[in-house]
Amino acid sequence: MSAKVEYVLRFGDNSLILGQRLAEWLGHAPVLEEDIASANISLDLIGQARLWLTLAGRIEGKGRDEDRLAYHREQQDFRNFTLLELPNGDYAYTVVRRFLFDAWHCLALDALSGSHDTDIAAIAAKSRKEAEYHRLHSGDWLVRLGDGTGESHARTQAALELQWRYTAEFFDSDAVDAEMAESGAGFAAASLRDEWLEEVTTVLAEATLKVPAAAKFVSHGKRGRHSEHLSRLLAEMQVLQRTHPGAKW
């Protein structure tokens, strides 16, 4: 698989898996207004996934469309960050996960908007507007929960401690990143770290939350080495396509 296909899949899978997780809240959110907001964000993410996966299939040139890629790959073929596949947990967990990712996503899409590859640049530019709103939404909730009640503060800090260790992956560079950065179609993964950390630190301070210590652990979902949770998520997501091969829906 070419570096470009793999790279595009990473973006598609990030949006798909997070969109799938977020949609689980629909009907179960803390307040009706949030059911609606979460659904909007989930819809944006799935829309992005469709664009990225379609592009990946086209570059690959083997006739795989968005659904072939979403429903007929095994867990080791998925390229999303490990953070995004972890089960939802409580609302604090969901908000923290989203904020950590949304802050990265905005920076990444900014960088990609200047990609030499016009297809990549176009999808990035479209997704960027959506990601901006997602970041506003999750950042706002992070502050409300962090600086809310004693209970919400404790839950949010705990969620942060649990998930912080998965953020190293955002900035961990491999051969795919290097090749894409080199060609001008992508960006150097590590280059976003400082800005991300600064932005996240500012919001965490406003939320009266402590920045957790850096961990030695690095997850490798984007290279296809996932947690135990992804295959279960996929088993559920792919069930109909797998049970009825060749059927159209």
19 φ/ψ sector (left φ>0, alpha ψ -120 to 50, else beta): alpha
Binding residue for another protein, selected from 1, 36, 190, 214, defined by CB under 8 A: 36
DSSP 203-231: HHHHTT-PPPPP-S---BGGGTB--THHH
149 φ/ψ sector (left φ>0, alpha ψ -120 to 50, else beta): beta
The CA distance from 60 to 52, in Å, is 12
C-beta closer to another protein: residue 30 or 184? 30
C-beta closer to another protein: residue 44 or 177? 44
227 scored as a contact of another protein (CB under 8 A): no
147 scored as a contact of another protein (CB under 8 A): yes
Dihedral sign of CA atoms 89, 91, 94, 99 in order: negative
30 scored as a contact of another protein (CB under 8 A): yes
Binding residue for another protein, selected from 60, 71, 121, 162, defined by CB under 8 A: 71
Task: Give the nearest distance from C-beta 104 to another protein in angstroms.
Answer: 21
- SS3 track for 167-198: HHHHHCCCHHHHHHHHHCCCCCHHHHHHHHHH
Contact set for another protein, span 155-194 (CB under 8 A): 155
Residues in a beta bridge with 220: 225
1 scored as a contact of another protein (CB under 8 A): no
Task: Give the nearest distance from C-beta 67 to another protein in angstroms.
Answer: 5
Question: Which phi and psi angles does 220 have, rounded to 5°?
Answer: -135, 40
CB 164 within 8 A of CB 157: no
C-beta closer to another protein: residue 118 or 149? 149
35 scored as a contact of another protein (CB under 8 A): yes
For tokens 């949010």, the residue is: 156
64 scored as a contact of another protein (CB under 8 A): no
70 scored as a contact of another protein (CB under 8 A): yes
The SS3 call for residue 249 is coil
Binding residue for another protein, selected from 114, 116, 136, 173, defined by CB under 8 A: 136
Tell me how crowded residue 71 is: count the other CB atoms within 10 A of its CB: 14
Binding residue for another protein, selected from 59, 77, 111, 148, defined by CB under 8 A: 148
Question: For binding to another protein (CB under 8 A), which residues are involved?
Answer: 16, 20, 23-24, 26-33, 35-37, 39-40, 42-43, 46-47, 49-50, 53, 66-67, 70-71, 90-92, 136-137, 140, 143-145, 147-149, 151-152, 155, 236-237, 239-241, 244, 246-249
